[in-house]
Amino acid sequence: MAGAALASQLWSLLDEMAENEPQAYRRFQRQQRSEAERLCAPPEPHLCLRARPTVGCAGAQPRLGLLQGVVGKPLFINVCGWKRVPAPKVPTDPTPVSAGPLEEVTGEGDLYSIIDIAYNPDVLQRGEENPEKMEHLIHLTLKFVEERCNLILADLYTVESFKLKGSLETMQQRLKGRRMPTPHLSQNTKKELTLDQLLHTMEAEDCSNVPVLLKDENVTHSKVHLIEEISSTEMPEKLSTPVYEMITVKDTNKKPLKFELKIELPKVSSVSECDLQISKDDIIIEVPEKYKLQLDLPELVDEETTTAVFNKGKRVLFITVPVAKP
């Protein structure tokens, strides 16, 4: 109940800001949208590893057909940077990771398997600045792939001269558009949920077998949380276009003075749900998971003096946009 009351109070404050301080509200919305766009940036290739699976791990019978096709053939691991994946808050925290599906590629003489692994760009940047950290991250990645895909990889690996195996678009689709099945975890690993909606947590097996090159004190224990796997965000559904009406108010010389826009939003109960963006030549109104409307304005307008009022009873948004002065 306390949480609901706090949320209600927050929405009321945002409503008051939108009605009484529309410019401050627009700045707030722009800041929120800028942060959302940053988090929605696509994954970018960073480096490509080449490894070779030797055998499948015990307990991998449900995926035996795939493993038979993977074992013995080169495995390319695309290590990518993705802003959507959070960075560890402190160096001793586990490193969040997002994984795509393991796929086998055949045809035109190519016989190999491929998987995409994404970290926060800051994690990869620290690796670029410190070769020991990068080597440690690579070994964690290989260990993660072994557990994730029920494989045992040969000790030798190579860092390819190219950053990405396959096409950029395909890599991004694999990371963004699919969920991996729950991995089989060995007795030395466990799975847990966290408050940040991280779906799976992996513990490394006996760290004495892993070249731990970081000098963090907590990393020297025989068992530590090293990598946390997060799920990819599902693609948003197409938003509907709300019913709207725009009227042009003119002066005595029939020159446009302002535009009055009326938008019906029956699924909206508070103006705080609306993301309103106004530029000199267009208006964008978006309500997450509900509506999106983009209008090109016939005249250049003064976005700083634009006002917006939401009628809660009728669930209608009224926007007044003055035409810019010459």
Which residues neighbour 317 within 8 Å (Cβ) at sequence distance 6 or greater? 261, 262, 263, 265, 268, 271, 274, 285, 308, 309, 310, 311
How far apart, in whole angstroms, are the C-alpha atoms of residue 27 and residue 7? 21
Q: Would you say residue 214 lies in a domain? A: no
Provide the CATH number for the domain around residue 272: 2.60.40.790
pLDDT at 109 (0 to 100): 67
pLDDT at 275 (0 to 100): 85
Above pLDDT 90, what percent of the chain?
29
Residue 225 confidence (pLDDT) above 80: no
Residue 154 and residue 257 in one domain? no
- H or E element, residue 48: strand 44-51
Residue 167 and residue 271 in one domain? no
Q: How confident is the model at residue 28 (pLDDT cuts 50, 70, 90)?
A: confident
Domain with 270 in it: 243-322
Buried b (16+ CB within 10 A) or exposed e, 50-61: ebbbeebeeeee
Please name which of 272, 236, 200, 193 lies closest in space to residue 40, comparing C-alpha atoms: 236
pLDDT at 190 (0 to 100): 33
**How many domains is the chain built from?**
2
- The stretch 12-37 carries a mean pLDDT of 75
Residue 170 and residue 77 in one domain? yes
How far apart, in whole angstroms, are the C-alpha atoms of residue 117 and residue 163? 13
Total-model pTM: 0.49
Read off the tokens for 46: 């960073």
How far apart, in whole angstroms, are the C-alpha atoms of residue 103 and residue 118? 16
pLDDT at 246 (0 to 100): 92
Domain end, chosen from 176, 200, 224, is at 176
Residue at 55: amino acid letter: V
Q: Would you say residue 168 lies in a domain? A: yes
pLDDT in tens, 301-325: 988 888 888 888 899 999 999 999 8
Q: Would you say residue 190 lies in a domain? A: no
Q: Where are the alpha helices (DSSP H) in the chain?
A: 2-20, 22-39, 64-70, 121-129, 131-149, 168-177
Q: Would you say residue 192 lies in a domain? A: no
pLDDT at 278 (0 to 100): 86
- The stretch 69-82 carries a mean pLDDT of 84
Decide if 49 contacts 80 (C-beta within 8 A).
no
CA geometry: angle 256, 28, 320, nearest 5 deg: 20
Decide if 177 contacts 95 (C-beta within 8 A).
no
Residue at 78: amino acid letter: N
Q: Would you say residue 15 lies in a domain? A: no
Which residues neighbour 72 within 8 Å (Cβ) at sequence distance 6 or greater? 52, 53, 54
Of 137-146, 184-193, 215-224, the poorest mean pLDDT is in 184-193
- H or E element, residue 99: strand 95-99
pLDDT at 226 (0 to 100): 67
**DSSP letter at 254?**
S
Q: Would you say residue 91 lies in a domain? A: yes
pLDDT at 231 (0 to 100): 61
pLDDT in tens, 151-194: 889 888 999 999 999 999 999 888 886 443 333 333 333 333 33
Which residues neighbour 86 within 8 Å (Cβ) at sequence distance 6 or greater? 96, 120, 196, 230
**Is beta strand 44-51 parallel, antiparallel or unpaired with respect to 95-99?**
unpaired
Domain end, chosen from 176, 207, 235, is at 176
Q: Would you say residue 27 lies in a domain? A: no
Domain end, chosen from 149, 176, 203, is at 176
pLDDT at 45 (0 to 100): 95
Which residues neighbour 247 within 8 Å (Cβ) at sequence distance 6 or greater? 259, 260, 261, 262
Q: How confident is the model at residue 65 (pLDDT cuts 50, 70, 90)?
A: very low
Q: Would you say residue 264 lies in a domain? A: yes
Q: How confident is the model at residue 35 (pLDDT cuts 50, 70, 90)?
A: low
Please name which of 275, 292, 321 lies closest in space to residue 31, comparing C-alpha atoms: 275
Please name which of 242, 234, 280 lies closest in space to residue 261, comparing C-alpha atoms: 242
Q: What does the mean pLDDT of the chain come to?
A: 75
The sheet carrying 244-250 orders its strands as: 244-250, 256-264, 316-322, 307-311
pLDDT at 41 (0 to 100): 78
